[in-house]
C-alpha cells in the first residue's frame, strides 16, 4: 500500500520533468519565431535637436581634438557621444566623471549643460534634461564648431 501512495507524486514529478524537457527541446522543432533583431545603429542617434549640418560641425570639432574617428555624417551616435564625453571629462567646469560609453544619460546631459552655461548662453537648470534651452545652446555650440570643418 505504501508504494501506491507514492505513485501519484512520482507520476506528477515525471510528468513535469517530461513536459519541461519537451518544452525545452520541442521549441527547436516548433515553427521559428519571428526574428527580432537589434535596432539599427541609426536608432542610437541622439542629435539633441541639431540639424544634420549642425551635427556635422560637432563631429568635426570632436574629430579635431577628442578622438572621434567616425564618419562626418550628421548623426551623433555612440562614437560621437564617446568623444563628447571625453571632451566633457577634460573640462574641469563640466564636472563629468561618468563612463565614456556613448550613452546620453542624465550625467552626460548635466555635464553638457554646465559646458553650455559657461560659454554658449545656456541659462536653464543643471537638471540632466535636454529641453529646449539645452538644445538651443547646443545649437549655438554647433554653430561655433563649424570652424573645425
pLDDT digits (tens, 9 = 90+) for 109-142: 999 999 999 999 999 999 999 999 999 999 999 9
pLDDT of residue 44: 83
Q: Of the candidates 130, 145, 147, 128, which has an alpha carbon nearest to the alpha carbon of residue 83?
A: 145
Contacts from 106-111 at CB under 8 Å and sequence distance 24+?
Answer: 108/81, 108/84, 109/134, 111/85
Higher pLDDT, 7 or 83: 83
Mean pLDDT of the chain: 80
Mind giving me the DSSP string for 55-111?
A: HHHHHHHHHHHS---S--SS---HHHHHHHHHHHHH-GGG---S--S----HHHHHH
- C-alpha grid cell for residue 86? 571625453
pLDDT tens digits for 21-54? 334 444 444 444 433 333 334 448 999 999 999 9
- C-alpha grid cell for residue 6? 507514492
pLDDT of residue 73: 97
Residues of the chain above pLDDT 70, percent: 71
Amino acid at each position: 500500500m505504501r508504494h501506491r501512495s507514492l505513485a501519484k507524486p512520482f507520476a506528477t514529478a515525471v510528468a513535469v520533468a517530461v513536459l519541461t524537457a519537451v518544452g525545452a527541446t520541442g521549441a527547436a522543432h516548433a515553427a521559428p519565431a519571428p526574428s527580432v533583431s537589434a535596432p539599427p545603429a541609426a536608432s542610437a542617434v541622439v542629435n539633441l535637436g541639431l540639424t544634420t549640418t549642425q551635427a556635422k560641425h560637432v563631429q568635426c570639432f570632436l574629430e579635431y581634438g577628442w578622438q572621434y574617428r567616425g564618419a562626418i555624417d550628421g548623426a551623433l551616435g555612440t562614437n560621437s557621444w564617446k568623444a563628447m564625453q571625453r571632451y566633457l571629462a577634460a573640462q574641469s567646469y563640466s564636472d563629468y566623471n561618468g563612463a565614456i560609453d556613448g550613452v546620453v544619460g542624465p550625467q552626460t546631459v548635466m555635464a553638457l549643460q554646465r559646458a553650455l552655461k559657461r560659454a554658449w548662453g545656456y541659462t536653464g537648470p543643471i537638471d540632466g534634461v535636454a529641453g529646449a534651452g539645452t538644445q538651443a545652446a547646443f545649437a549655438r555650440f554647433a554653430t561655433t564648431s563649424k570652424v573645425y570643418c
